[in-house]
Structure 1
Amino acid sequence: MGATLDAKGLNCPMPLIRTRLALKDVVIGETLTVQATDPTSYIDIRLFCETTDQELLSAEEEAGVYTYVIRKAADF
């Protein structure tokens, strides 16, 4: 089981900033699960993963809560 980050209630750009900081402490190959309520986090976190070579395993929305599972694939 990997690390978790509760970014619910935070507005852009804070979910992305907190995700980036939390991933710094994750070991390559491990996962970070992020929950956020800001709809722009869907775009921000996807782009962050693409540009930093992280693996976005899943991105789901349920009842206004976006849940992302990111596998750290590289240091950044």
Structure 2
Amino acid sequence: MPQIHFTENLQNSLTEPQRSVITDSLNAQLTKDGTLPNDTLTLGAFFDAQGLPCPMPLLKAKVALRTLTAQESLYLLASDGNSQTDIAAFCQKNALAMRTWTTTHAQTSATIFHFIITKNV
């Protein structure tokens, strides 16, 4: 099972229930898809951009990524379908590693786009 670590700044900015939900969600997906089976993921930033229209998820990601050091990751949630294309193009252009998947909101049936963006240098 992958190890999820939070940087001190992120840990201090989230409540314990928030950290637990994030950890459970990431462990479930990363174990399911075989990503990071026995590796470590260091989260340095989290942003929930659900409900924000394009290009806001991308702009929020850019701001959050400025605070990260090499090998730290941003976990971003978005509900705007265009964010997939925008964020993928941004990551490719800037040599950022990206993992993405979708889930369905249990109450609204809305699609939720999940992004883990890792800063390489």
Identify whether the pair has TM-score above 0.5, normalized to the shorter chain. yes
Higher relative contact order (CA 8 A, sep 6+): 1
* TM-score (ref. length: structure 1): 0.91
Corresponding residue to 1:5 among 47, 51, 65 = 47
In structure 2, what is the equivalent of residue 71 of structure 1? 118
What is the rounded CA distance, in whole Å, between the counterparts of 2:56 and 2:48 in structure 1?
11
In structure 1, what is the equivalent of residue 92 of structure 2? 50
Corresponding residue to 1:59 among 93, 100, 106 = 100
What is the rounded CA distance, in whole Å, between the counterparts of 2:47 and 2:120 in structure 1?
18
Q: Where does structure 1 differ by over 6 angstroms across 4 or more consecutive aligned residues?
A: none
Structure with greater helix share of residues = 2
The offset of 1:26, in angstroms, is 0.9
Higher Cα radius of gyration? 2
The amino acid across from 2:65 in the alignment is L
The offset of 1:8, in angstroms, is 0.7
* TM-score (ref. length: structure 2): 0.58
